[in-house]
Amino acid sequence: MGAQDASRANREFLIDFAQTAAAAGLCRLRIADTVGILNPLQTAELFTALRAATPELSLEFHGHNDLGMATANTITALASGADAASVTVNGLGERAGNAPLDEVVMAARITLRSDCGVDARQLSDLGDLVAHASGRPLAAEKPVTGAAVFRHESGIHCGGLMENSATYEPFAAEEVGHAPTEMVVGRHSGTRLLREKLSRLNIPFPPALLPALLASVRRFAAVRKCNLTDQDLQALADNLINNHGLPDL
């Protein structure tokens, strides 16, 4: 049974409703934040009260994302007495949508140490499939499965990642079937990433010219308003070498 708009209902009435449903033999009651107005503190208070009033009743949370808190509220509900959660692939749903499956699965795994029983390695492919079928592409910054969530540019981030991927990633890309971590060259890059990229491209480059190359990279990225391709980086490196000569490496 679903209690629509439960988040705006009178609390005493809602608890009486839940107790009546439990007494009638209901196996599960869905508590809906139909217009997405709850915050996590309010969600915790609501489910703590309902769990205390109906300890024998299975509770489910159905969160909408009108204020951008569907995932946070869903995780809070699960931590505060809910036994189940309503989710949708890619968060598709009315208006701003619902709690996305991928976000809830990974947030539960990381913040609650709870395994939802979902094979997370299939999440990225599932998201891509539904995005294509629905004609609603995912934003690059979509948490967990967006194209950019394992893409790094900042010099300090890339430096840390080269030492330990956990430095700037809460979980490995492979855990959700995502494309591997990518470090891109752009206006926020540092010399360490440039050295790494040049080495991978087998471009011999004098260390003394790295500061000049970094300056060229940042100017290029600022003017073009994009990251550099390998071909862009090679062209800038070749230009510096040709203009300065190639000293002993």
Give the domain ranges of the chain. 2-86, 184-244
Amino acid at 143: P
pLDDT at 249 over 80: no
Among residues 138, 74, 127, the alpha carbon closest in space to that of 104 is found at 74
3-class DSSP state for residue 91? helix
> Residue 143 — pLDDT band, cuts 50, 70, 90?
very high
pLDDT tens figures, 78-114: 999 999 999 999 999 999 999 999 999 999 999 999 9
pLDDT tens figures, 176-190: 999 998 888 988 988
Q: How many CB atoms lie within 10 A of CB 136?
A: 12
Do residues 85 and 78 lie in contact, with contact meaning Cβ atoms separated by under 8 Å?
Answer: yes
pLDDT tens figures, 220-231: 999 989 899 989
pLDDT tens figures, 190-240: 888 888 888 888 888 888 888 999 999 999 999 989 899 989 998 998 888
> Residue 155 — pLDDT band, cuts 50, 70, 90?
confident
| End-to-end Cα distance, the chain | 73
Question: Which residues lie below 8 Å from residue 29, measured CB to CB, with a gap of 6+?
Answer: 1, 2, 3, 18, 21, 22, 54, 57, 58, 59, 60
State the pLDDT at residue 131: 97
Judge residue 50's burial from the number of C-beta atoms within 10 Å of its C-beta, 0-12 exposed, 13-18 middle, 19 or more buried: buried
Quote the distance between the C-alpha of residue 60 and its chain's center. Answer: 23
Which tokens belong to 168?
């700037």
pLDDT at 56 over 50: yes
Q: Is the pTM higher than 0.95?
A: no
> Average of pLDDT values for 151-164?
83
pLDDT at 245 over 60: no
State the pLDDT at residue 246: 44
> Residue 247 — pLDDT band, cuts 50, 70, 90?
very low
CA distance 99 to 82: 15
State the pLDDT at residue 243: 78
- For 64, what's the count of Cα atoms within 13 Å in the CB-facing half-sphere? 15
State the pLDDT at residue 163: 83
pLDDT tens figures, 2-29: 999 999 999 999 999 999 999 999 999 9
> Average of pLDDT values for 46-71?
97
pLDDT at 68 over 90: yes
Do residues 240 and 204 lie in contact, with contact meaning Cβ atoms separated by under 8 Å?
Answer: no
